[in-house]
Every structure is written in structure tokens, then in C-alpha cells.
Structure 1
Amino acid sequence: MMNNNKRYGAWWLRMAALYLVVGVSLGNYMGATHDFGLRSVHAHVNLLGWASMLGFGLVVQQLADTLSPRLVALQFWLHQLALPVMLSALAALMRGNTAAGPLVGLGSVVVGVAVLAFAANVWRGTGAKLRAA
């Protein structure tokens, strides 16, 4: 039976692949139309979607036995729920809908909390390895 952290690691990798497709597609659209008004969204899709999720997945897979399963799950779900809200609101904001600003802020804060959960979990999990060395 697969360690639950390993399962989350696999889901991080799957979501990273999905965000890679979205990021490349958005980049292709912007290039084809010469409309770069969503470049900020494109950058966030690639960084917080593709690159960060790939990193999270690889780290969670590698450190599965030392990370807190609760923090792994918390981080995964906070990130997965908040990032689409943030990206959608950012796209609306970039297209002139100023009412989307607070949703960008809310999504950003929740993604930030997810990143802090990851950092705390890695710090905690690797601390045991350092003490054992």
C-alpha cells in the first residue's frame, strides 16, 4: 500500500503537468494574438502552478516518510483551492475588472499560507534527519 504522502506527491506531479499545459497554452495564445495583457497570469501559472507544484511533488515523494501527513494534505488542498481563484481573479483584474482585486489578495494569502505549511513541514521533517546524522 502506498504511503499517503507519496500519494499526495504523485498528485502534486499530476497537477504540475496540468499547469504546464495551461501555461504553455496561454503563452501560445498570447504569442499568436500578440496580446500580452495576461502575462502576469502566465507567469503565475508557470511559477505557482508548474514549477512550484513540480518541486512540491518531488520533495514530498523524497521525504514522504519524514513529513507530517496532516501538513502535506493541508498544503495540497489550500494550494489547489486557492490558486485557481487567484489566477481567475488576476485574469479578470488584468482585463479591467477592479472588483476582482480582493479575490486576488485572498487567493494570494491562502497560497502563501500553503507555502508556509510546506516550508514548516520540510524544516520539521529534515530536522530529524539532521539530528540523526
Structure 2
Amino acid sequence: MLGIRFIKISVVYFVVGVCIGLAMSITHSYTLTPVHVHINLLGWTAMTLAGILYHLFPQIAATKLAKTHFWLHNISLPLMMAGLAFVVNGNTAIVPLVAAGGTVLVLAIILFALNILMNLKPQKT
């Protein structure tokens, strides 16, 4: 079930990232390129791949590490991206929000990596 949740929310990030890309193309203003790229990579791609792994290997999805990864990823990424949108538009007072969101996101990804390394084992046939 967690794998499916990751995949479903990753599609939301994909739609947001593509819409930002379309808006930039229409307006010929590419200021939000870093937001577009990070949402597509960390929201769409990374979360889809995590979701596929969690779906294929339910034993790693059943861990507290997986659930913590899900929540930290989905709290920190929107905060970081909203902050980054303000920063690239000149509001440098928001830099701490971007730094905090980025730090929590890195922690989420480290938890994902630890979960894979510790709990993904060959299935017995």
C-alpha cells in the first residue's frame, strides 16, 4: 500500500512540475527552472522509483523507516520548493526555509537508503 501511495503522490508532483515548465515556456521566463527541475526529479522520479521498490518488495515498505521516509519527503519537498520559488524571485529572507526543507529531504533520502540496505534481502524460492 505504501508503494502505491508513493506512486500516486509522485504523479501529483509530475503534474505540478510539468505545469511550471509549461508556464515558463508560455511566458519565456525561466526563473523557476530550479523549482521545475527539483519537483520533477525529487517529486516525480525519485518518489516513483521508491514507490516501485516499495511495491515490489513489501517487506521494506512495512518498516518504520519507509513510513518516516514518506512523511519527511512529502513535508520537506513542498516547503523547500515553495521557499526556492521565493528565493529565485529575489526574496532571500526565505533561504532558511529552503535550507531546512533541503536538510529534512536529505534525511528522508538517507532513511530510504538505510531501509534498502538493511531490509532488502533476496527472497527465498
TM-score tier, shorter chain, comes to: over 0.9
Residue pair 1:23, 1:46 contacting (<8 A) in 2 also: yes
Kindly state the Cα deviation for residue 64 of structure 1 after the two structures are TM-superposed. 1.0
Tell me the CA shift for residue 10 of structure 1: 0.7
5+ residue gaps, structure 1: 1-6
**What SS is found at the alignment partner of 1:56?**
helix
Residue 123 (structure 1) aligns with: 117
Deviation at 1:66, TM superposition (A): 4.2
Query: In the alignment, is residue 36 of structure 1 matched against residue 39 of structure 2?
Result: no
**Local SS of the residue matching 1:35:** coil
Task: Specify the code of the residue in structure 2 equivalent to 1:37.
Answer: T
Q: Secondary structure of the equivalent of 2:29? A: coil
Count of residue pairs brought into register by the alignment: 125
Q: CA deviation at 1:68?
A: 5.0
Aligned to 2:11: 17
Aligned to 2:55: 61
Match of 2:94? 100
1:107: how far off? 0.3
Structure 1: which amino acid aligns with 2:76? Answer: A
- DSSP 3-state at the match of 1:129: coil
Question: CA, structure 1 residues 116+68, in 2 after alignment: closer, same or farther (shift >3 Å)?
Answer: farther
TM-score between the two structures when normalised by the length of structure 1: 0.89
Q: 1:47 aligns with which of 27, 41, 49?
A: 41
Where structure 2 has 5 or more consecutive residues not aligned to the other structure, the ranges are none
TM-score, normalized by length of structure 2? 0.94
Root-mean-square deviation (CA, aligned residues, Å) is 1.5
Q: Per-residue displacement from partner, 1:89-128 (whole Å, max 9, x unpaired)?
A: 00000000001101100000000000000000001122x3
